Structure 1
Amino acid sequence: MFQCQHPECSRSYKRREHLLRHQKAHANLRSFACQICPAAFNRSDLLNRHIALSHSLSPGHPELSSQRGVLISESKKDIGNGEAEPDRNRRESALQQLRDSMMVTLGPEITEASNKRSLEEYYFGKLHLHWPILHQNTFQSEAQPEQLVQAVLVAGLWMTGTAEAKETAELHHDKIVEIQCESSSMLDQQSDIFNAPRPEFLAFFQALMISTILLIYRAKNGIPSAVVDNKRLLRLTVYIKRLFRLFNHAGVFDQKRIDAENPLSPLVREQYQRLAVMLFKASVHLNAVLITHLPKFRLLDYFDPAMLNVRAPSPQEIWNASNKDYSQDGDNRAIIGSLFTGDANHLVYQTLTSTSACDFSTGMIIGCFNNRQPDEPLSELMRRLAPFLAWHFDDLDSDECRI
């Protein structure tokens, strides 16, 4: 193991290059400055990502195009010279690197067998009811990648609701989120590998999604106007934007690509569909907070529900059953994004009903977007959505949640 020697830092890595990359953050050498805002970074790829996520849709910045053009062309030089379609060994090697870099050490309050079973029950009994991205029977009956298990257990610990459990869970969760953010640079460098909704990527994407959902829960009371809290809110904003960018590049919002990569696995196809829908739901949650505290950051400017070119997921009773055929009517359900193309009026009721049967609040949220008038401001839309955004938190203590 390679240990960081910086004071008050206990991070360690299995690979030396991961440690060196981490140490750059301590050095705080930010020689790559954004021309649009005061942000600065220690690597050009981080600056390039910042521009793409924060300024790509910003009007009135003609100087942006030249800066983006140079950085994007530099970041893609190596990719352009690589393989057009990476072979299986290269994908497995990249996934193993991610697994090694994303693991954190959890205490016995999580890892002991009896505790693991209890925390899984909390996860599926609380968080899963409102964010059904996993297939419970598959998760509990088959071996799962460790990073996905960790994400479930930490979320389950937080869902127990006690102050001590939440504090412990948040310590682990902060480490997981930090590592996942660092891993995003690896994904940028190997974007030609993570370019399709393949079955071997599913657990990794699900682990990222669960971390995002827990961030949403920790932010549920809103964020005070203090600078430190706005920085924490910015972290959540950047995190969801990175996840959107990763999912979009991998084709998670495209049913045709999902079907092409998983022709024989309806369960994998369905779980990818659910990832797409639940990330949109998470983005709407975050927008409700941003519109009050950081209104210049508007995630829905780039993540429109029309982008959900995936079929409506299975009804909850089918998804939670262990002996159902998930492919029996899956291919006949409508594409959610078709609600917003103007030529699917006869499918509106069917699509909204199917989505609500999967997750009630998501169906209501998409219904509100479907009924939005062209002149309705985002603030008014968020007001109409508010009852459904609060739906998930009724059974949680609201006094101790924080980012």
Structure 2
Amino acid sequence: MDHEDARGSALTALAALLDRSIEQIAQAAEDGRTYDRGRIVSLSDLWDNAAVPLLRAVTAATPAEREDRARALLRAMVTRRPQHRERVLEQVGGQWADLLPTSRPAVPQRDFFGVVRPAPSVCTPEAWAGLTADYELGAAGVRRLWVEQEGAAGASGTLELSVGRRYPATATASGAVLAVQLHGLTEARFDHTDRHGAVLTCGAGGVTVRLGRGGVLRAAGAVLSVEDHRWHESAAGRRADAVTPPNDPPRPRPAPAEEPELAPAAGRVARVLGVAMMEIRSVRSAAEVGRVPVAALCRMLAGAGGALVATAGDEAALGRLYEEWRARRPVREDGEPSPLPGRVRFASWSAARDGRRAEAVVVLASAPGGPGGLWLTSSYEHPEPAVFRVELTGGQLSAEVAG
């Protein structure tokens, strides 16, 4: 097999994907006023468990093996995370489309035991009517809510509701949870003392969720998902069970091929890259924002893809790259951060459950050096708040947390 085809070098495309991912993460983290946590998490998530396979591709013995390994890694990245297919093609070019697996439609699937499980669905009047037939939304309680500003102007939110079942379930050891993921959020108002009861309407004009007596969430659209271990007994679950094919009989899996150990310098480079991406991805937990030096980690890794290809797998060159990264590695800010005054970028409230106490988390964009420079981000956790109110109006997010 030729080590390259008409599409070009897969290893070069993979290196460019790494460099662009790092550049875009840096842009999303550069200024607290436009900090985009969701984009940072999505871009870094693409590289989950990819550092070692990438170094195996870089250090493979022949050009053909390097290309085979690079193609395999591109496929694996999309196989593990189908939602990243369009992002990968946007970065490496549409000529690689036939290499990458296509996304399967979101439909109910059977788990390992053959029990049918629900799939997320776009919020439509029909989807909502199906949920209200199986669950008691009028008495639902807010289990968790967060509202977040994204980039320069966008906003999103997620609402989790503890809901009662309308259908007779054979076991009810744990309750059901309905999650509403809202995109294009334009208005939010919520007080944690007014959190029982939910009414949702959706149509061409968007999605509106009314909570309690005075709470409201308005958005361009939403995705609905259900977490219910007895869902297969609901009306929707029984309908899905009737049309979902049974699982294929289990087949013995071939033993995985034994992979070569990376040489010492290549292994050290892989560890630094993998740990850095894992640290960046840890801002999935909003409480980690401000502790994780995302922008500094991106500066350390700037040009990493091109630098790796340039080493041509040479151990001495990889050793020098490792020393460069180690010299530039930033220090994580552990310990409880001191919140700085500033603009609210994220606010969440979680009810007490499963032995965990109620908690609020707020992320702020702050300008200790004056508004002319880059703004910083800080976060703080507030256990068992007596007061939690959040409001989004006119593109401005505000939160009140006390007690």
Q: What's the TM-score, normalizing by structure 2?
A: 0.27
Q: What's the TM-score, normalizing by structure 1?
A: 0.27
Q: Which has the higher contact order (CA 8 A, sep 6+)?
A: 2
Larger radius of gyration: 2
Q: Which has the higher helix share?
A: 1
Q: Which has the higher strand share?
A: 2
